[in-house]
Amino acid sequence: MKRTLVLALIGIAALATFAASAAPSVAKADPKPDVVTVWNRTMVDALETAATPAPPAMRIGAIVQSSVFDALNGIERRYTPIHVQPAALPGASRKAAVVGAAYEALVALFPAQKPTFDAQLAASLAQIGGGDNDQSVRRGLDWGKQVADEILAWRAGDGISAVLPPYVPGGLPGDWAPTPPAFASTPAFRQFANMTPWAMTSPSQFLPPAPPALTSPRYRQDFNEIKAIGRDTSAIRTPSQTETALFWAGDLPVAMWDRVADDLAEANHLTLIRNARLLARMNVAMADAVIAVWNAKNVYDTWRPVTAIQQAGTDGNPDTALDASWLPLVVTPVHQEYPSGHSGVSNAAATTLAMYYGDQTSYSVTSFGLPGVVHTFASFSSGAVEVGDARVFAGIHFRFACDAALEMGSEIADYVDGTVALRVHGPDK
């Protein structure tokens, strides 16, 4: 495949083009709709339409799904809240609370898409019945909006808008350096490294060990692997491996895994509260994984494979040979290499789903950037492993960065499982 075509498929411009050409859609009517799933799909559509970058997208997923869960739990009062204490008025409609929370959060986060959300609001209210003047529906809507407003206000101070000191490059072999084609001088999304976590005690709670030394056997092994298979013109990468790299590079992790969760919820007929709780926990785990990964990226500040290979003569390792013309299959993201963001976030999601459904569960994944392509897996763990493979095939991450991130994602999901939305009374229905 020609490099220009590859760049067009996976670059930011391509994602924006796909998003602009994809008409927002109102979820199809269902006699008994699961409004949690309907509005989660609406959120995913909004992320795709806005061509939202990955780290902010994970934060948005957690805001919306926490709002939905706390709104519903504020009526059910079955679990510990994520942020907003239960205070719904008696008789408030559960479905209306979900709708009100999702609508309020999405309008605040994507004001340009308000007409789409208005249409979905009308469709949801028609499906719920009773009309927005019905006392139960009105109480549910008002409560949901109140919850979303409180969570939006809470997260407004989480560091997303922090003004950071100028980035100072290390300048030594192994340190991050600007990468082609843009050669941006500052790594992107540095504010996530110190953002207020959702569940973790600190951004560094799951800091992984330092990456392998440049002179180590593991570094030599992973360097030579990616040099051979991750090059744009690699002769050993198979068509299937190329497609896998583009598949996982062509969409947001939160969109891919939330679609999986929605499909499984529908297939397994989850109750509203179970669906809301699972989505909230999964999205919180992904949002904390972004924070933890970016904290580690900025702690270790390591170079990308394209820099490492083009400057291999400086690494002190006699078993790594430089290639000044080497370029990756996928354009290198503008931030540090270790650990891999997609791997960490994906395994946070996959582990959360595995804890609910069991790891040996079949499911399918789709990618916004490769319409019509479907990857089917027999276990959540195998899907997460493929994400790591894809980053190596793409030429943008050493395998040790993917392995470390997979471990982080698993640990964060476990932590969220033990600390977020815990059952306080009644059956776990």
| pLDDT 10s digits, 345-373 | 999 999 999 999 999 999 999 999 999 99
Is the pLDDT at 178 greater than 60? The verdict is yes
User: What is the distance between the terminal CA atoms of the chain, rounded to a whole angstrom?
Assistant: 50
**pLDDT range class, residue 429, cuts 50, 70, 90:** low
Residue 428 lies in a domain: no
Tell me what pLDDT residue 6 has: 29
Residue 425 lies in a domain: no
What is the phi-psi region of residue 185: left when phi exceeds 0, alpha when psi lies from -120 to 50, beta otherwise? Answer: alpha
CB 282 within 8 A of CB 192: no
Q: Looking at the 3D structure of the chain, how many domains does it have?
A: 1
Closest CA to 362 of 372, 371, 353: 353
Is the pLDDT at 130 greater than 80? The verdict is no
Residue with tokens 């799933």: 37
Residue 381 lies in a domain: yes
Tell me what pLDDT residue 351 has: 98
Tell me the average pLDDT of the chain: 92
Is the pLDDT at 235 greater than 60? The verdict is yes
Residue 427 lies in a domain: no
Tell me what pLDDT residue 32 has: 60
Is the pLDDT at 110 greater than 60? The verdict is yes
| pLDDT 10s digits, 364-397 | 999 999 999 999 999 999 999 999 999 999 999 9
**pLDDT range class, residue 129, cuts 50, 70, 90:** confident
The boundaries of the domain holding residue 115 are: 3-162+172-419
Residue with tokens 């008696």: 90
Tell me what pLDDT residue 131 has: 64
Tell me what pLDDT residue 202 has: 98
Residue 32 lies in a domain: yes
Work out the number of other CB atoms within 10 angstroms of the CB of residue 132. Answer: 15
- CA 58-281-253 angle, to 5 degrees, is 30
CB 248 within 8 A of CB 375: no
Residue 157 lies in a domain: yes
Residue 329 lies in a domain: yes
Domain at 413, CATH number:
1.10.606.20
Is the pLDDT at 8 greater than 70? The verdict is no
DSSP symbol at 365: E
Percent of the chain with pLDDT over 70: 90
| pLDDT 10s digits, 60-85 | 999 999 999 999 999 999 999 999 99
Question: Distance between CA 285 and CA 388 in Å, rounded?
Answer: 18
CB 406 within 8 A of CB 343: yes
Tell me what pLDDT residue 374 has: 98
User: Which tokens in the block code for residue 83?
Assistant: 């942020």
